[in-house]
Chain A
Amino acid sequence: GAVVSQHPSWVICKSGTSVKIECRSLDFQATTMFWYRQFPKQSLMLMATSNEGSKATYEQGVEKDKFLINHASLTLSTLTVTSAHPEDSSFYICSARLAGGSDTQYFGPGTRLTVL
């Protein structure tokens, strides 16, 4: 089946540093990738929708200057958490939608970010 990978799977950083998380569709092309954040015992919260070759669309309340999204190819999207603070500690998950108007989405394994 289709696979979406995320790298790194976990990261610990100091407050004030920036962290980049990669989301790759390994065996299919993804027109759209979604970035989610999940706090403990809560459901996924959509942060932004990333379309290849265009600017990401951010959900209300999500700072676009803090969470930089780049979707440079049909198989790779990156999320950079800039000047990370402890409150940014969370589980970040991406999903990739199959190109061609499909509703099929595949989820990545997630990245655990801990900001000290």
Chain B
Amino acid sequence: KNEVEQSPQNLTAQEGEFITINCSYSVGISALHWLQQHPGGGIVSLFMLSSGKKKHGRLIATINIQEKHSSLHITASHPRDSAVYICAVRPNRGSNYKLTFGKGTLLTVNP
């Protein structure tokens, strides 16, 4: 079982819809990252969380440390939001700042 599980694996939405991508992890962590990767492209860091909630534009990320769960929300989705969204955690034991990655969620937003 992967230490980091994302759901759903694939998500198709219509422009304007509210989108939620979930990430669950099984180990204690120091930090959780949400990353975005467009097809054929590099990785963009969206958020780094250790507690609570962060907002940037139409993106909101939340984390519940006790439940070992994080969500990434996109409000008023747009076709340019189409990308793979990756959750990554930094375990708080012996990781030397290495990240453990989820398999990603492929989001397609149709016009």
Q: Chain B nearest CB: distance from A3 CB in Å?
A: 11
Provide the B32-62 mask, 1 if CB < 8 A to any CB of A, else 0: 0101000011111100101000000000000
Which applies to chain A's interface (DSSP): helix, strand, loop or mixed? Answer: strand
Known: A43-B86, A43-B103, A43-B104. A106 touches B45 (CB 8 A): yes
Residues of B within 8 A of A106 (CB): 45
User: Is B66 in the interface zone, CB < 8 Å from A?
Assistant: no
Residue pair B48, A103 in contact (C-beta under 8 Å): yes
How far does the alpha carbon of A104 sit from the alpha carbon of B33 in the complex, in Å?
A: 9
Residue pair A108, B50 in contact (C-beta under 8 Å): no
How far does the alpha carbon of A106 sit from the alpha carbon of B46 in the complex, in Å?
A: 10
Residue pair B86, A109 in contact (C-beta under 8 Å): no
Residue pair B41, A109 in contact (C-beta under 8 Å): yes
A selection of 21 A-B contacts at a CB cut-off of 8 Å is A34-B98, A34-B99, A43-B86, A43-B103, A44-B86, A49-B96, A49-B97, A49-B98, A93-B42, A93-B43, A95-B43, A97-B97, A103-B48, A105-B33, A105-B97, A105-B99, A107-B35, A107-B45, A109-B41, A109-B43, A110-B42
